Structure 1
Amino acid sequence: MKKIQYFIIVKSVGLYINVLSIVYPQKAKLLAYKLFSEPRQGRIRPDKLPKTLLNTEKETFTHNEDTFQTYIWPGNDEIILLVHGWESNASRWKKLLHHIKPLGKTIIAIDAPAHGLSSGKEFNAPKYAEYLHVLCQKYAPKYIIGHSIGGAAIIYYLKKYFNQSIEKVVLLGSPSDFKIINNNYISMLSLNTKVKLLLESYFLERVGISIDDFKGHIFAENFTQEAFIAHDIDDTVVLVDEGKKYASTWKNAIYIETNGLGHSMHDEILYQKISNFIQPRQE
């Protein structure tokens, strides 16, 4: 019953936007973008932090008119940066932390735009990449791990800012081709061609890159970093074909497919493999 109700609500919203585009196309465009870019989950309250984030050093950064939050587990001079995905926050790394803390490195996790304790309502990968740039300028992480669209933000960051201090990259269930994401959104709401074109032009206006040109696997062709790319064959949010795209172009990459983990990809064996990738065991 809930699925039926959700379907009716989603299609009704899409119908409203389609009708609105006939009379007020600019309003239709803004509403379509708002629904596309504004997360509905992932916020946390300062007085109710998840246990994972309680005993951490906290640092708030300012970028343009926004603030974003980071959490630090102190260690040695080598830094691991954790980059979560859509409608999540830095606490999503709870299970991975058990495997990478013993490495003795400093670990920094970030709350994405409009997530966790970071400000704003708008989220997109290029904006997230700007946050990463501010953070990396200060801390110069050697390793960076991203889940879902957090991984896509890492790819755009590496493409735009040419960071050579990062030596190893981990992508978990990350999308490559944003055209697919956009088309899925259009299909879900059954938006008409007029709204589709308005949305695509506004995305270009807002973030400085067209949806058609955002192809992470193409960006990765020139990357020199080592990569560990993992994708689950049962992922219905970001299909496994996206992981295969990265694996086909990234010259120095390990690619593995998991089974039964879905999009979250929480798994003790997988996380131990990531730990071993970051710091190979001495024979």
Structure 2
Amino acid sequence: MSNSLIKIIGKSLNTISYISPKYASKKALYLFAKPRQRRVINDQKSFLDSAESLYLKHKHLNIATYLWKGNGKTVLLAHGWESNSGRWQNLISKLQKLEYNIVSLDAPAHGNTSGKQFNAILYSECINVVAKHYNPHIIIGHSVGGMASGFYQKNYENKELEKLVFLGAPSEFTGVFKNYVDMMGYNNKIENGINSLVLERFNKPPSYFSLADFSKEIDTKTLIVHDVFDKVIPFSDAQKIAKNHKNATFISTKGFGHGLRNETVYKHVIDFIQS
């Protein structure tokens, strides 16, 4: 979305908010939860075609899953915002050489999974459906996929899960919302309206949805990797999570950005899951 379009949308909804604040807030929340269409590109498609594909059902969603069979422990991969399972190709290639059994899912409204709306809570529910089917020993999540993986483990307490990996994961719903409000230039009416809609929809305020707070209740051995210069998710989010998690290893990187698609990062991940 271009800066000029962002300004137009922000100003338009601000104007509407003086007439109908709830409508403007609903529209703003809808736009926040609607990823831009992110089709699987040709290179990713040929890679994903090498896996066994299976669709699992959750509510109105058909969840696309991919399986690369191996003789070792099962690793479940959860990608981030406006991405898909193809983003894991390099890591999957390394895990295959170590004979891991590898599963990946496309998030709601991403890749080949159906739906038009996305949030970390719904994503965590989808992870639960996939985990019940494939019984992973390890879950690796990037960005909001890491947040959703943490939400999953806090809410469902999978005792069979041995390890978690959070790569560039956000900690706070409030922080994510605040960044969105600032980017769009929304006024206080819309900001307060969004918070009220979250409370109405989930029976909890946005401040409740904190991976840092949830981490206090997660016993699973966890690796947290975050780049100091991440321009998407602040490094301080990882520091909050690590501070509260009693069974976490925290590794900071420099220069790998938010994507963390780097040989050094892959080595950290593999060393952790093999330890």
User: What range describes the TM-score normalised by the shorter chain of this pair?
Assistant: over 0.9
Correspondent of 1:237 among 206, 210, 232 = 232
What residue identity is the alignment partner of 1:145?
Answer: I
Corresponding residue number in structure 2 for 1:109: 104
Corresponding residue number in structure 2 for 1:186: 181
Per-residue CA deviation, residues 196-239 of structure 1 (Å, 9 max, x unaligned), is 11111212333443211111011111211111110001101001
Give distance in 2, aligned partners of 1:152 and 1:208. 19
Per-residue CA deviation, residues 170-212 of structure 1 (Å, 9 max, x unaligned), is 0100000111110111111111111111111212333443211
Correspondent of 2:6 among 10, 17, 29 = 10
- The two structures have a TM-score, normalised by structure 1, of 0.93
Instruction: Confirm or deny that 1:226 pairs with 2:221.
Output: yes
Instruction: Confirm or deny that 1:29 pairs with 2:21.
Output: no
The answer (yes or no) to whether the contact 2:40–2:86 under 8 Å persists in 1 is no
Give distance in 2, aligned partners of 1:182 and 1:43. 25
Give distance in 2, aligned partners of 1:161 and 1:184. 29
- The two structures have a TM-score, normalised by structure 2, of 0.95
What residue identity is the alignment partner of 2:141?
Answer: G
Describe the SS at the equivalent of 1:196: helix
Give distance in 2, aligned partners of 1:49 and 1:99. 16
Correspondent of 2:82 among 69, 81, 87 = 87
Equivalent pairs counted in the alignment come to 275
Give distance in 2, aligned partners of 1:213 and 1:278. 30
The answer (yes or no) to whether the contact 1:75–1:107 under 8 Å persists in 2 is yes
The answer (yes or no) to whether the contact 2:72–2:99 under 8 Å persists in 1 is no
The answer (yes or no) to whether the contact 1:127–1:207 under 8 Å persists in 2 is no
CA positional deviation for 1:125: 0.4
Give distance in 2, aligned partners of 1:107 and 1:279. 14
Give distance in 1, aligned partners of 2:3 and 2:112. 31
The answer (yes or no) to whether the contact 2:67–2:104 under 8 Å persists in 1 is yes
Give distance in 1, aligned partners of 2:241 and 2:98. 27
Give distance in 2, aligned partners of 1:48 and 1:198. 42
What residue identity is the alignment partner of 1:40?
Answer: R
CA positional deviation for 1:78: 2.1
The answer (yes or no) to whether the contact 1:143–1:167 under 8 Å persists in 2 is yes
Corresponding residue number in structure 1 for 2:60: 65
Instruction: Confirm or deny that 1:150 pairs with 2:145.
Output: yes
What residue identity is the alignment partner of 2:186?
Answer: L
The equivalences for 1:244-259 within 5 A come to: 244-259=239-254
Give distance in 2, aligned partners of 1:244 and 1:271. 20
What residue identity is the alignment partner of 1:184?
Answer: N
Give distance in 2, aligned partners of 1:48 and 1:265. 20
Describe the SS at the equivalent of 1:76: coil
Give distance in 2, aligned partners of 1:205 and 1:211. 11
Corresponding residue number in structure 2 for 1:131: 126
Give distance in 1, aligned partners of 2:48 and 2:205. 36
Q: Using the aligned pairs only, state the percent identity.
A: 37
Correspondent of 2:197 among 189, 198, 202 = 202
> Compared with structure 1, are the counterparts of its residues 43 and 208 closer, same or farther at alpha carbon in structure 2 (3 Å cutoff)?
farther
What residue identity is the alignment partner of 2:80?
Answer: G
Per-residue CA deviation, residues 105-128 of structure 1 (Å, 9 max, x unaligned), is 210000000000001110000000
